[in-house]
A and B are shown apart, each in its own frame.
Chain A
Amino acid sequence: MSKQDFKLFEDMMKKSEAAIPLVQILDEKGKLVNKGMKSSLTDEELVDLMKVLVWGRTTNERLILAGRQGRIGNLPPSEGQEASQLATLFAMNKTDFVLPTYRDVIPLVHHGMSMKNAVLWYRGHVAANIFPEKIYGLPAQTIIGSQIIQAAGLGYAYRRDEKDQVAFTYIGDGGTSQGDFYEGINFAGIFKSQAVFIVQNNKYGISVPREMQTKAGTLAQKAAAAGIPGIQVDGMDPLALYEATKTAREYTMAGNGPVLIETLTYRFGAHTLSDDPKRYRSQEEVDEWVAKDFLIRMRTYLGEKGLWNEEMEQEVIDATTKEVNDALDLADNEPKMKVSQLLKNVFEVPTPRIQKEIEMYEAKEEN
């Protein structure tokens, strides 16, 4: 043994975790606790937010049903995470740019993509990714981590051009293990990108628990290594999620560089419809989280304020059910893809070789 003991190391370990604040405004019982932040939402905004959350939940439920009926491919549902997705989005401007993961198709719809495109995305159709110009977002990213560096780049471009726009990007807890994640937040820090990184910690990356992703006690503390702020937010608390995101937006727009927000949330269902979560997590754990559902606390809080009732909720559910059903029908009518079309998507102007292939396939497709 050397003369030194390990106190220096051990003290450092304690400090790094203790430094991460947790924001919670509305607790599980629907009571205001105002930990770290206070709500700035008006009554009218509260109702709007609740409508969005119910819309999100219903959309998930309807899409899962469609999945089970074989009307959609294999979809990654986000039941349980709608607050983490949509209450954060609620704090963004329509011209803020969203770089989503495969699990964030529903937020993308809220940001302007059509429900029909969402259905086509799950089904694996290129038309899903053809947006009208007014949508500020990318199609869902399949490669975990890539979106983080892209957000750093876009946020840099926004700052250089003095735009009132922010790049918002989502990633899961598993995704924070990727090299691209570290590179992205580090670049964003150095280049003072107008960016907000939202880490949705739903406790699992497919079957792998969050504790096996990193020895760090929080994911938010990874921000410290990039020299940027990192906070944890109760991911089942829409008011805290909204406030934290709004504040992060203001912070980055003020020229301070990016912010990392870790939302503590949970995926109620399977990773995708082909996943069997019973293999890696207990029903007790699921039940525990279902009891924390943001809808329960929002119903209580808004109900007590006289802002929300069952009929209002049913109205949203009915309208959303119709929206999803209509989208499924519209998507059924989408013309089938053609090889010639896929070939045309590869270059702005097809190379002579590809042009030949296009003509060959067009001739075949006519028959």
Chain B
Amino acid sequence: MAVKNMVQAINEALTQEMKRDERILVFGEDVGTNGGVFRVTDGMVAELGADRVFDTPLAESGIMGMALGMALGGFRPIPEIQFSGFTMEAIDGLLGQLARHRYRLGGKEGVPVTVRSTFGGGVGTPELHSDNLEGLFAQSPGLRIVIPSGPYDAKGLLTAAIRNNDPVYFLEHLKLYRSVTEEVPAESYVIDLDKAHVVQEGTDITIVTYGAMVHESKKAIEKLEKDGISVELIDLRTVAPFDIDTILNSVKKTGRVVVVQEAQRLTGIGNHIMAEIAEGAMYDLEAAIGRVAAPDSHFPFGQAESIWLPNASLIEEQVRKTMAE
């Protein structure tokens, strides 16, 4: 097996799926000739043709609307929104139309659209390029939101998303594009979209998280384990609707839980996880549910990211606090 980064893994998933099914189209701003501003679609025009991987005019609402229309015409579109902050321009297309389509049609006909986009702190982008807006989009029924934490998951989850007949909003964390590498099988494979991943088992406390915070949590766990604290780490993979059973089973076992997200306390999906735990495992808890999240300002200007984003030491601190209760 070859070691790959997330950019390579996603490129591979897209290419393999497009070779398997010629009705799949990839389009968006700069995805064609330029190969995407992060080179995720690099080489795909040459390999698959300019009529299957192509640039669009600069209009997110247009991109999202086109996707639904193409799906009505029997294609399986994979539109790209260059940065997830620009999804604001296409909220109706995503939440008002794509997410509702099957429901409107009495459940009979879905739209197999996988919207890819980027987000996530730690690389010093301009405003609205890195914001964690998943909680905002997660407020809609009918839409799966997937956030892979590494190359292996990215390939398997994206492949599953493309093959799924409902819309998926697939969010790629900018910091993870090249900073994490791991072995990724050359052949196609799918990962169940509706199951969280128990990254490691533990007995004292559960950490529930996703995306880049999986890696911050791992760093924290290394330190905690030295003091004999056994941590179970859950990576949600699909953050909406998330896999509540895996979380509850874990919490019932450990009796303690810390929910970690990169998003602000008042946004994100951590609140929903906490509510589900409170409802489903309240009497199994030995301590209040802990939480690590960002401050409740807008996403910070580039230079303030390092003091604003949650990190391993905040996670470690919170776990120790929850353990001590």
Contacts and interface: CB of A to CB of B under 8 A. Distances in A.
A177 B300 contact: no
Contacts of B73: none
A279 B301 contact: no
Contacts of B307: 336-339
What band does the interface of chain A fall in when counting residues whose beta carbon is under 8 Å from B? 35 or more
A152 B37 CA distance: 31
A289 interface: no
Contacts of A73: 124, 302
Interface string A202-223: 0001111000111000000000
Contacts of A145: 89
B14 to A, nearest CB: 18
B304 A339 contact: yes
B34 A214 contact: no
B33 interface: yes
A178 B302 contact: no
Contacts of B58: 144, 174-175, 177-178, 205, 208, 213
B297 A212 contact: no
Contact of B62 (A177, A205, A345, A361): A177
Contact of B55 (A123, A208, A339): A208
Contacts of B89: 143, 145, 178-180
B295 A124 contact: no
B261 to A, nearest CB: 16
B86 interface: yes
Interface in B112-165: 124, 126-129
Interface string B17-59: 0000000000001101111010000000000000000010111
Nearest to A360: B295
B304 A207 contact: no
A70 to B, nearest CB: 12
B34 A346 contact: no
A128 B89 CA distance: 26
Contact of A337 (B61, B85, B128, B300): B300
A145 to B, nearest CB: 7
A87 to B, nearest CB: 25
A47 interface: no
Given A143-B85, A207-B30, A178 B59 contact: yes
Nearest to B86: A143
14 contacts: A126-B304, A143-B128, A144-B58, A178-B58, A180-B89, A206-B30, A207-B32, A207-B55, A208-B29, A208-B34, A336-B303, A339-B300, A342-B298, A343-B297
4 closest cross-chain pairs (CB), A and B:
A124-B302, A207-B34, A177-B57, A174-B58
